[in-house]
Amino acid sequence: MIIERTTAPALWVAAAVLLAAPARAEAPPSLPPRRGTELHLDDALALSRRHNFDLLSAKDDSTIADAAVRTAREHPNPALSVITGRIHSDGGDGTELGNSLWERGYDSVLQVGQPVEINGERGARRRAAVAASDASRARLADVRRTLEAEVVQAYAAAALAGANERIARESAGYLRDEERIAEARWNAGDISRSDLDQIQIAAARLELDAQNATNVAYAQRLALETLLGMSEPDGGVVVADSLEALVSRSEGSAPAAPGGVRPDIAAAEADLRQAGAALQLERARRLPVPALIVQVEHEPPVRANTLGFGVALSLPLWNLNGGPIAAARASRDQAEHAAARARSTMVADVAAARAAFDEATARWHRYRDELRPQSETVRRSVSLAYEKGGASLLDLLAAQRGDNDVRLATMQAASDAVIAAARLRAATATIPEVSRR
């Protein structure tokens, strides 16, 4: 559909609103957080929209493209030339009027030439610039679309690393409790020294796993801070939302309703319009652009001031702009292929995102509702039985290891569900279809 230029900015603002996440009740911070700041996901998304480097660069690209539209709408500038001739090297150029510069017999010509575009070149140039501006605005919306998914993924990864650290320390704590019980039983002669050593080794391994998870969490926070546009990321932000809260929120946010066009598709279609206008421009350049010339000549004393008019044409004697036309035609064909590929990629993205979301959500529910409670029950019962001598060390370590693995897998499932929901929202996000002529 065709939308006037005056309404297009409002539609692009509406597009940005459609892509924005639900706002928190309190005002989000306007500056990147300092070390130790508790950061909720909504605040992280708001900060990324203000300070993300890629988004700021895309905004600058859009500004540059808008400036190019203004340039394309302007008429060609006139050319001014001033020539003074018939100056004798030995002097004696004075006339009966006098010997001042204006009265000497010099032949002075002032000439103004104004190119006149009558072959459609200016219109094609304007259409190409407007299409390029549309493409830059669509790419800006596309950066916003993908940025949300990236921030959610980084935030969930940081939350997952923190949860893994906590689980490893809790599991190590469980085994340290068992170690104290085993020590008492070893002193009483109920178990061998090797049984006690195995518990101590298992606890130490879990503590090492916790230290590794601490380093992973630090790296994930650094990645998150980079997305938020912090000039000196230090990994000091505190991820305030738990994975359980994030996955509950992601299940309640449905994908965007169908309608409009995805930003990357809009950008590809705008690139195609630009390539088509560029081809028209090169075809128009086969014809010369005439320049209307107005001339004022001052040649005292006989012809003190005279006027002259003329037309200048560049004669296409040696070529008809064939090379640029062929290149522009190939660029248009290339843009057609890119638009078709973008549409195909979008269909695949949506299908893959829906499948991943369904699988991750089902896996999360299974772990949360079935496997995690069962694993906790088994660990406690085996631990109680071991304390009373009714279970072997092998049973205790297997139960502890299994419970630790299930708890880690539960958090991984929650993180996967949060990320899958964000990717599904990104895959189905659309903006109003805007075409400016």
pLDDT tens digit sequence for 231-260: 888 888 888 888 888 888 877 665 555 668
Residue 29: pLDDT band with limits 50, 70, 90 = low
Q: Are residue 41 and residue 96 in the same domain, yes or no?
A: no
pLDDT at 387: 76
* pLDDT per residue as tens digits for the range 32-59: 566 667 889 999 999 999 999 999 999 9
In degrees and rounded to multiples of 5, residue 389 shows phi and psi of 80, 10
Lowest-pLDDT range of 46-60, 95-109, 228-242, 333-347: 95-109
**What does each C-alpha distance from 48 to 16, 35, 160 come to in angstroms?**
14, 17, 20
| Same domain (yes/no): 208, 314 | no
pTM: 0.76
Asked whether residue 82 carries a pLDDT value surpassing 80, the answer given is: yes
| Same domain (yes/no): 144, 188 | yes
Residue whose tokens read 């899958």: 420
Q: What is the mean pLDDT of residues 336-343?
A: 94
State residue 306's pLDDT score: 87
Q: Of the candidates 171, 187, 193, 229, which has an alpha carbon nearest to the alpha carbon of residue 396?
A: 171
pLDDT band at 321 (very low <50, low <70, confident <90, very high): confident
Of 271, 295, 320, which residue constitutes the final position of a domain? 320
In a domain, 433, yes or no: no
- CATH number where 344 lies: 1.20.1600.10
Q: Note whether 102 and 210 are same-domain residues.
A: no
Q: Which amino acid is at 301?
A: P
CA distances from 147 to 140, 270, 319, 354, 428 (A): 10, 21, 48, 19, 14
Question: Tens digit of pLDDT for each residue in 386-426?
Answer: 777 777 777 878 888 888 889 899 999 999 999 999 999 99
| Domain assignment present for 435 | no
Whole-number pLDDT of residue 254 = 54
* % of the chain beyond a pLDDT of 70: 88
Residue 348, token pair as written in the block: 């695949």
pLDDT (tens digit per residue) in 355-385: 999 999 999 999 999 999 999 899 889 888 8
Highest mean pLDDT among 257-266, 283-292, 335-344: 335-344
Helix then strand then coil, % of the chain, to nearest 5:
65, 10, 25
Domain-located, residue 2: no
373 and 281 in one domain? yes
Question: Which helix (DSSP H) or strand (DSSP E) does residue 168 occupy?
Answer: helix 121-187
Residue 436 has pLDDT above 60, yes or no: no
State what percent of residues in the chain have pLDDT above 90.
36
| One domain for residues 203 and 157 | yes
Using the 3D structure, point to which of 320, 340, 364 is the last residue of a domain. 320
Residues 416 and 337 in one domain: yes
Residue 72 pLDDT: 86
Predicted local distance difference test score (pLDDT) of residue 23: 40
Answer yes or no: is 1 within a domain: no
Average pLDDT over residues 136-165: 92
CB-neighbour burial class of residue 27 (10 A; exposed 0-12, middle 13-18, buried 19+)? exposed
Q: State how far the Cα of 365 lies from the Cα of 369, in Å rounded to an integer.
A: 6
In 3-state terms, what secondary structure has residue 23?
A: coil
Q: What's the number of domains the chain is made of?
A: 2
At residue 24, does pLDDT exceed 70? no
In a domain, 400, yes or no: yes
- Placement of tokens 């900060």 in the chain: 47
For residues 276 and 379, state if they share a domain: yes
- Would you give the DSSP letter of residue 235? S
Please state the rounded mean pLDDT for residues 254-277: 84
Phi, psi of 294 (to 5 degrees): -120, 130
Rounded CA separation 135/128 (Å): 11
Specify whether the CB–CB gap between 371 and 362 falls below 8 A.
Answer: no
Same domain (yes/no): 82, 203: no
In a domain, 67, yes or no: yes
Of residues 116, 166, 404, the one with CA closest to residue 287:
116
**Is residue 256 situated within a structural domain?**
yes
Within 10 angstroms of residue 125's Cβ, the number of other Cβ atoms is 20
The rounded mean pLDDT for the chain is 83
Average pLDDT of the segment spanning 146-152 = 93
What pLDDT sits at residue 4?
36
Q: For residue 107, tell me if it sits in a domain.
A: yes
DSSP labels, 298-359? EETTTEEEEEEEEEE-----S--SHHHHHHHHHHHHHHHHHHHHHHHHHHHHHHHHHHHHHH
Question: What is the domain extent for residue 68?
Answer: 8-73+123-285+324-428
| Judgement on whether residues 43 and 134 belong to the same structural domain of the protein | yes
Q: Check whether residue 311 and residue 404 sit in a common domain.
A: no
Looking at the fold, whether 167 and 222 belong to one and the same domain comes out as yes
